[in-house]
Amino acid sequence: MTTQALTRRLASRKTRTRRRGRWHAYLFIGPSLFGVVAFLILPVVIVFVLSFFDWELLSDPTFVGLDNYRKMAGDGSVWSSLGITVAYVLLCVPLQTVLALGLALLANQKVRGVKFFRALFVVPWMATPMVLGLVWSWIFDPKDGAINQFLDLFGITGPAWLSETSLALPAVALVHVWQNTGYNMLFFLAGLQGIPQELYDAAACDGATPRQRFWRVTLPLLNPTMFFVTVTNMIGAFQAFDTIYSMTAGGPSESTSVINYKIFHVAFKEFDFGYASTLSLVLFLVILLVTLTQVRFFGKRTTYDLS
């Protein structure tokens, strides 16, 4: 066999091996790729298309062009729902992020029984939001609820938490924070345990106080974790629905009617699926814009190399 023939044969074998490896890779990523296409990309495309139609589910879709977008621009209830959603996000995300970081700092201590408390903090996240909403509705009950019963021991008459427009949204946000804080704690705990102890020892040798070590060592090195937690928290808060539906159903006087509940009401109460698709697309764009802003903010402040 000549040298040229041997070279061609080896090149052909490398090509077949490379092609076989490529098909193996496709085989492994296939299920995940199918999930992304079927449950993420395709629904967005369908919602985008439906936003240009008037469809009441039982009738044939009618193309209306930009009518749904014009309707949304002049719909005050939609902008009110967006404002309520932003308020809900601002109530939930900072509080549960700070609490999760505080719990992680406590759970990172080497004390007896700390593993039990780590598991205990995560239990609320494992419960179904609808069930939690019903339980907390009873806790917030103005007559027989646990909170007002406790206040009554001190001679304080508790308010109607879920019936007052000024208290309903903070009450529901409190439940959201209570449910998700322990779950976020796990990410901060993993981030804390990934910081080398040598950095703290070096800072202590330089005379840094515990507070200075937290601000100058812990927080900067937790930026990747902080980025992940805040992004996922923001997305989750913007998409809030279950707890609000079970606790207040958007009331009182639509004071808890976040945009996701508004979409549900338009789609399944008014049966206007075209308009609901328009609102869903707007929510998607808002979440995308907020996420990209966070990516840009944290991208300049995050380091992943601790070597």
Alpha helices in the chain (DSSP H): 3-36, 42-50, 67-73, 76-107, 114-126, 129-139, 146-152, 165-193, 197-205, 210-213, 219-221, 223-238, 242-247, 259-268, 273-299
Say which residues have a Cβ less than 8 Å from residue 135's Cβ, sequence separation at least 6.
none
Q: How many CA atoms lie within 13 A of 168 on its CB side?
A: 21
When pLDDT is cut at 50, 70 and 90, the band that residue 165 belongs to is: very high
Q: Is the pTM of this model over 0.75?
A: yes
Q: Tell whether domain 75-299 is in CATH 1.10.10.10.
A: no
Q: Domain locations in the chain?
A: 3-50, 75-299
The pLDDT, as a whole number, for residue 6 is 56
The per-residue pLDDT of the chain, averaged, comes to: 88
* Inter-axis angle of helices 42-50 and 273-299, nearest 10: 130
CB-based burial label for 242 (10 Å; 0-12, 13-18, 19+): middle
Q: Express each pLDDT in 41-98 by its tens digit.
A: 898 899 999 999 999 878 888 999 999 999 999 999 999 999 999 999 999 999 999 9
217: left (phi over 0), alpha (psi -120 to 50) or beta: alpha
pLDDT in tens, 176-191: 999 999 999 999 999 9
Contacts of 25 (CB under 8 A, 6+ apart): none
Distance of CA 281 to the CA centre of its chain: 17
Token pair of 17, please? 């091996």
The pLDDT-based confidence of 40 (bands split at 50, 70, 90) is confident
At residue 80, the pLDDT reads: 95
Least confident of 15-24, 141-150, 158-167, 254-263: 15-24
Helix axes 165-193, 129-139, angle to 10 degrees: 130
Burial of 24 (0-12, 13-18, 19+ CB in 10 A): exposed
Q: Which amino acid is present at 270?
A: E
| pLDDT given at position 287 | 93
